[in-house]
Structure 1
């Protein structure tokens, strides 16, 4: 039977959820403690300030990104196909952390923007040996961005929206992955 998340993780989970759902201004210490089901003192035991909460979330993002890089390196389908396939959000921990840290970056927190840049650079570095040149790397990165962006817009169920193209699934996604992998190699 899995153990319930510890208070520190519950606090980070709550902070992340508030950032995603309501934005950085709403993610106060009081709101985070309440959402996590801990006292404010319990929150302060783990995170002395909102800056410490943000730092905890950035550390979470970087750890999840490293896990993703490890899976990418050992993916049977190869790093490019893995990277593109996982560019479609699945509400996984990494997806939530990316969105939450993006909210922090959008609110003007430089450390959040820096963390997002480091993650993107780490992905690029992992892909670089598997593409023929920097232009091919840029193609893979931009297709990944497009998949992620369109998937993010489509989460509200905006079928047929002029803003977002359909997110390829099944055979269409496989064709896209094969095409980009072929073009990049």
Structure 2
């Protein structure tokens, strides 16, 4: 079994039953593998949570990079909109909720700091760029707790209005 399949099983378990039910045995059962098969990839629950967090960071980094040309803030906004619309950000709430130990969240805090510093020196209006990135954070939070809060037209309007805050490229 691949690591991603084990991480998917852990995310599903978290989404369905909450952090209190995240045990290595429960993840192995959900994934349909022996506990030994899970332990081969993740020796501890903390290692599993670390793997979940590292995957979240890598997924978002890839999404930002896939947005192509333009400023980092434009790519960050487009990536956020894509992630929220697809439901990919729902995993942020369940994974970070499982990481009760602040040390486990250190890589995520570091990634968030990097995302907020990235490309700022080349932004024509760094404060507008910071406002956009903070608005994205708020959208992540709202959409992870109530995925159906906005329809497609509202997402389009939010995206359009946030882009309007940035100087034209």
TM-score tier by shorter-chain length is: 0.7 to 0.9
Give the root-mean-square deviation of aligned CA atoms.
2.9
Aligned residue in 2 for 1:3: none
Aligned residue in 1 for 2:87: 91
| Unmatched 5+ stretches in structure 1 | 1-5, 160-165
The answer on 1:47 being equivalent to 2:42 is yes
Q: Quick one: distance in 2 between partners of 1:175 and 1:70?
A: 20
Count of residue pairs brought into register by the alignment: 166
The answer on 1:180 being equivalent to 2:165 is yes
Task: Tell me if the contact between 1:151 and 1:167 (Cα under 8 Å) persists in the aligned partners.
Answer: no
Normalised by the length of structure 1, the TM-score is 0.73
**Higher RCO structure, 1 or 2 (CA under 8 Å, sep 6+):** 2
The correspondence for 2:137, drawn from 140, 145, 162, is 145
Q: Quick one: distance in 1 between partners of 2:122 and 2:92?
A: 24
| Unmatched 5+ stretches in structure 2 | none
Secondary structure, counterpart of 1:152 in structure 2: helix
Moved over 6 A (4+): none
Aligned residue in 2 for 1:131: 123
Partner deviation per Cα, 1:63-110 (whole Å, 9 max, x = no partner):
3243234335xx234322221232231223xx35533432134xx212
Within a 5 Å distance, the mapping from 1:24-43 to structure 2 comes to 24-43=19-38
Aligned residue in 2 for 1:169: 155
Q: Quick one: distance in 2 between partners of 1:76 and 1:64?
A: 19
CA 1:137–1:33 in structure 2 vs 1: closer, same or farther (change >3 Å)? same
Partner deviation per Cα, 1:92-145 (whole Å, 9 max, x = no partner):
3xx35533432134xx21233212211211211224134346533431222112
The correspondence for 1:18, drawn from 13, 19, 24, is 13
The correspondence for 2:101, drawn from 109, 113, 116, is 109
Task: Tell me if the contact between 2:9 and 2:30 (Cα under 8 Å) persists in the aligned partners.
Answer: yes
Task: Tell me if the contact between 2:132 and 2:162 (Cα under 8 Å) persists in the aligned partners.
Answer: no
